[in-house]
Chain A
């Protein structure tokens, strides 16, 4: 046969290896940062030198260990209540990580479902959902969370809720558009010709083609969620009390910025690294998971 040139068995490198190669440095770097973040959050009690809530007023506002006046027992110094900065940064990651994963996943779940429904049903269902999305997207998220906090009280739940309630629209809109595009493709029509019903087509044919998109969105959304939480804890309507949060540390650090500038700087640094990490991961995943069309 004429196509002999391509007929020899392709040495099939495992799809995983191929994907990893495609992902490139972004995947590695982003993945490493996120993995590190997860590890820190999980192992916080083990790696933090002190209890983040423990106050030692006599050791207040100490600089990091390598500076004059620092102490090895407080590697990154202390804040105005004598709490270990390093321990607080480490424990803050728990808040960041839980918000990131929980809020992003919930927003994705809701958004993807509604997006699939709108994209595949069309007609008035689509119209309704789209208008809903439009209206919803017009809400300023921070304002919404403040309202929510006022209604159900400050705390992690209201932060997560605020993020989910606003960001599901982002998933819905993109998934709806992509679903509509995919349904126009010949393979979706081929699926109809063999008698698949709408649910089957979505589940078996369309969703596999949406996976790269969704995974990428999810990773980016996690970065967004962290940022929102930081803003809310900066403003003081996130977790209660003196639980360590990066946003809270930024707010406190701001008060004593001339005496102890490193507190605010380090907290901001953690936020930046985390968000950049998630974005890189999202970017790398997109490259890694989208092989088939690229050829």
Chain B
């Protein structure tokens, strides 16, 4: 079975000359069809950058120094631009973080979903709107016909996120990148949204790369997880394993630093600064190697 996504030894930098920053330092990971992979890390770990690289949406000043990305066996980075763009939204989709800025405030919800459908599936306007209504119903929005005619600011944050999820699943993609889609949501809404994502995933059979900083979300949704720090994958494996028997000290430290509602107050342990320092020292050592020698 070909992996849906195969990233090998990806090195990405941003900027030039004196202000170059290494954001990914040799990241490798594989996602199988239908797998839900959590990509967990703190800010600056490079998880969003990895998601963008896979979508082909790296910022203009980013360079891929080394490494490959294969999507369904095809060389993603080597593809002509046009072909890559054809895949976006159709075979690879994104659930973005901030529903407020991801939806066009001056277009109605229905029009926005329909636009995506028509772009990729060559449907007529009426067919697209019909399908959009079906999608809204799938994400458990009551009265979808009415919502189609509303503007983004007329619906709540949770609903907006559902619209974005509906749009992501619209063309039955084989891979969905979810970039912290529940971070800004209330915890009860978050649960509903996660349940929804799981249900849709089962129905449409998509693989999901779920980017988050929340270990709890990973535990509930993701079968496997990769832990990132300073652009490197420090640990990966089945979520159940990684969370109960973490092998890397950083994973252990992260778990110990996560407050838990079911544990007494003094169980919280900060991440030891020496650990962070040594991780960064290692990262910078890699930076100093010439590109050809990094593996």
Contacts and interface: CB of A to CB of B under 8 A. Distances in A.
Answer yes or no: A and B touching, Cβ < 8 Å.
yes
Interface of A: 1-2, 4-5
Contacts of B271: 2
A143 B277 CA distance: 70
A1 B280 contact: no
B273 to A, nearest CB: 6
B276 interface: yes
Contacts of B273: 1-2, 4
9 contacts: A1-B273, A2-B270, A2-B271, A2-B273, A2-B276, A4-B273, A4-B276, A4-B277, A5-B280
Contacts of A4: 273, 276-277
Interface residues of B, number: 6
Contacts of B277: 4
Most buried by B among A2, A4, A5: A2
A32 B277 CA distance: 49
Nearest to A1: B273
A182 B216 CA distance: 38
A2 B277 CA distance: 8
B65 to A, nearest CB: 22
Nearest to B277: A4
Nearest to A5: B280
Contacts, number: 9
Interface of B: 270-271, 273, 276-277, 280
A92 B276 CA distance: 67
A5 B280 CA distance: 9
A1 B280 CA distance: 13
Contacts of A1: 273
A205 to B, nearest CB: 29
A1 B273 CA distance: 5
A143 to B, nearest CB: 39
Given A2-B270, A2-B273, A4-B276, 6 more contacts: A1-B273, A2-B271, A2-B276, A4-B273, A4-B277, A5-B280
B178 to A, nearest CB: 27
A2 B271 CA distance: 8
Contacts of B270: 2
Contacts of A2: 270-271, 273, 276
A4 B271 CA distance: 13
A277 B180 CA distance: 48
Contacts of A5: 280
B37 to A, nearest CB: 26
A1 B274 CA distance: 9
B230 to A, nearest CB: 10
A1 B277 CA distance: 9
A5 B270 CA distance: 17
Nearest to B257: A2
A4 B277 CA distance: 8
Contacts of B276: 2, 4
B83 to A, nearest CB: 38
Nearest to B44: A5
A-B pairs, 8 with minimum CB distance: A2-B276, A1-B273, A2-B273, A2-B271, A4-B273, A4-B277, A5-B280, A4-B276
A8 to B, nearest CB: 13
A2 B273 CA distance: 5
Most buried by A among B270, B271, B276, B280: B276
Nearest to B272: A2
Nearest to B271: A2
A153 to B, nearest CB: 54
A4 B278 CA distance: 12
A13 to B, nearest CB: 15
A230 B232 CA distance: 65
A271 B280 CA distance: 58
A5 B283 CA distance: 13
A276 B273 CA distance: 54
B29 to A, nearest CB: 25
A4 B273 CA distance: 8
B288 to A, nearest CB: 17
A4 to B, nearest CB: 6
A2 B276 CA distance: 7
B275 to A, nearest CB: 10
Nearest to B273: A1
B155 to A, nearest CB: 25
A6 B111 CA distance: 46
A289 B90 CA distance: 46
A1 B276 CA distance: 9
A4 B284 CA distance: 15
A2 B280 CA distance: 11
Contacts of B280: 5
A5 B21 CA distance: 14
Nearest to B42: A2
A59 to B, nearest CB: 61
Nearest to B276: A2
B42 to A, nearest CB: 9
Nearest to A2: B276
A5 B43 CA distance: 14
A195 B270 CA distance: 35
Nearest to B280: A5
A95 B277 CA distance: 64
B290 to A, nearest CB: 24
